[in-house]
Amino acid sequence: MTTVGKILAFLNLAFSIIVGAFVIMVYMARTHWADEYKKLSQRYEIARANSQAYEVEVKKAEANGEARLAEARQQLKQALADLDSQATVNKDVTAKLEAEVKKGQEQEAVSKGLAAEVQKRQADTEQLRKLVKDETDRNNSLVKDNNELRDQAVSAKLQFQSVKDQNDRLEAQMRDQAKDMVRLRQGGGSTTGTTARNGKNPPAENVEGLIKNTDPTGLVTLTIGSDQGLARGNTLEVFRLNNANPTLSKYLGTIRVLEVTPHQAVAQPVGRPTAPIQKGDYAASRILGS
């Protein structure tokens, strides 16, 4: 074989190889394209099925949406009606509220006026209470002064009466003594003594009291009177008690009642007391324990 023939044979072989390669490539390409086409067809079928399902779901959703939209429109319509009704009610309530507020303001104004009047009345009441208290205190003071003056008047009256009685007794004694002196001069015998005047005359009932006051003239005021059974001319025994030390208690003497009121009396000592009679000493119809 010649060189040209070898070259041609080699070229033919090379060309055959290239053609074979192209044939193989075409085959492989067509085979791959068929597989891909088959897969794509399956995907298309699946997508179409999904699309149909989606379309059904969309139609169903649209139907549901229409129903819900209709329901929502109905609810909105009802809500608008309710809103209008509520607006009317709110308007009525607002009108009533404004009326109540106005009424409350009027009542508040009246209450403020009443409060001011009450405060004024309270101030007047406090002033009246103060005036009444001052007047009561003044009346109490006047009553106290009146009682003191009355006691002083009674005491003065009793003292005056006792002094008058004492003067009357002294005058009677002087008259008796004058008569006795006349009898003695005429030789008419013994004198008519007045010892009965100095005798004791205790009350019929057991009477006990205290020395209320003493007087420089010797007169004493007692805390007992005719309500306790004491009478004019009665005699009482006077003594001083010492509760801490009974042995220091002492008998002072006898007093005779000169003047009596329901609750007190005036008396004078009979003879000379063993010690000056003091306020707080006891006076009784008999000596305690006798």
Question: What is d(CA 205, CA 284) in angstroms, rounded to the nearest whole number?
Answer: 10
For residues 88-95, give the mean pLDDT: 89
**Phi–psi pair at 277, nearest 5 degrees:** -75, 135
Name the 3-class secondary structure at 282: strand
Confidence of residue 192 (pLDDT cuts 50, 70, 90): very low
Reply yes or no on whether the pLDDT at 185 is more than 90: no
Question: What is d(CA 261, CA 156) in angstroms, rounded to the nearest whole number?
Answer: 13
Reply yes or no on whether the pLDDT at 184 is more than 70: no
- Tokens at 126, concatenated: 């406090």
Confidence of residue 265 (pLDDT cuts 50, 70, 90): very high
Reply yes or no on whether the pLDDT at 270 is more than 50: yes
Does any domain span residue 230?
Answer: yes
Confidence of residue 202 (pLDDT cuts 50, 70, 90): very high
Does any domain span residue 215?
Answer: yes
Does any domain span residue 42?
Answer: no
Q: What's the number of CA atoms in the CB half-sphere (13 Å) around residue 23?
A: 6
> Nearest 5 degrees, angle CA 207-CA 209-CA 215?
125
Q: Please state the pTM of the whole predicted model.
A: 0.36
Reply yes or no on whether the pLDDT at 176 is more than 80: no
pLDDT of residue 220: 95
- Tokens at 255, concatenated: 């007093």
Helix (H) / strand (E) containing 269: strand 265-270
Reply yes or no on whether the pLDDT at 188 is more than 50: no
Question: What is d(CA 194, CA 172) in angstroms, rounded to the nearest whole number?
Answer: 10
Closest to 275 (Cα-Cα) out of 238, 235, 236, 224? 238
- Tokens at 110, concatenated: 């009246």
Does any domain span residue 176?
Answer: no
β pairing state of 235-240 and 282-284: antiparallel
**CATH number for the domain that contains residue 259:** 2.40.10.340
Does any domain span residue 146?
Answer: no
Instruction: Answer with the residue of higher pLDDT: 253 or 25.
Output: 253
Confidence of residue 38 (pLDDT cuts 50, 70, 90): confident
Does any domain span residue 101?
Answer: no
For residues 79-95, give the mean pLDDT: 88
- Tokens at 158, concatenated: 């009793």
Q: How confident is the model over 65-75, as pLDDT tens digits? A: 888 888 888 99
Q: How many CB atoms lie within 10 A of CB 113?
A: 10
Confidence of residue 263 (pLDDT cuts 50, 70, 90): very high
Question: What is d(CA 268, CA 290) in angstroms, rounded to the nearest whole number?
Answer: 23
Question: What is d(CA 204, CA 201) in angstroms, rounded to the nearest whole number?
Answer: 9
Out of 106-110, 145-149, 171-175, which region has the weakest mean confidence (pLDDT)?
171-175
Closest to 261 (Cα-Cα) out of 209, 226, 212? 226
Query: Residue 106, exposed/middle/buried by CB under 10 A (0-12, 13-18, 19+)?
Result: exposed
Q: Are 211 and 281 in contact (CB under 8 A)?
A: yes
Does any domain span residue 241?
Answer: yes
% residues pLDDT > 70 (the chain): 82
Confidence of residue 195 (pLDDT cuts 50, 70, 90): very low
pLDDT of residue 189: 42
Confidence of residue 193 (pLDDT cuts 50, 70, 90): very low
Quote the number of domains for the chain. Answer: 1
Does any domain span residue 218?
Answer: yes
The mean predicted confidence, pLDDT, of the chain is: 82
Question: What is d(CA 255, CA 198) in angstroms, rounded to the nearest whole number?
Answer: 10
- Tokens at 151, concatenated: 């006691």
Question: Could you tell me the residue range of the domain that residue 212 belongs to?
Answer: 201-284
- Find which of 14-28, 151-165, 221-235 is predicted with most confidence, using mean pLDDT: 221-235
pLDDT of residue 187: 52
Question: What is d(CA 219, CA 231) in angstroms, rounded to the nearest whole number?
Answer: 17
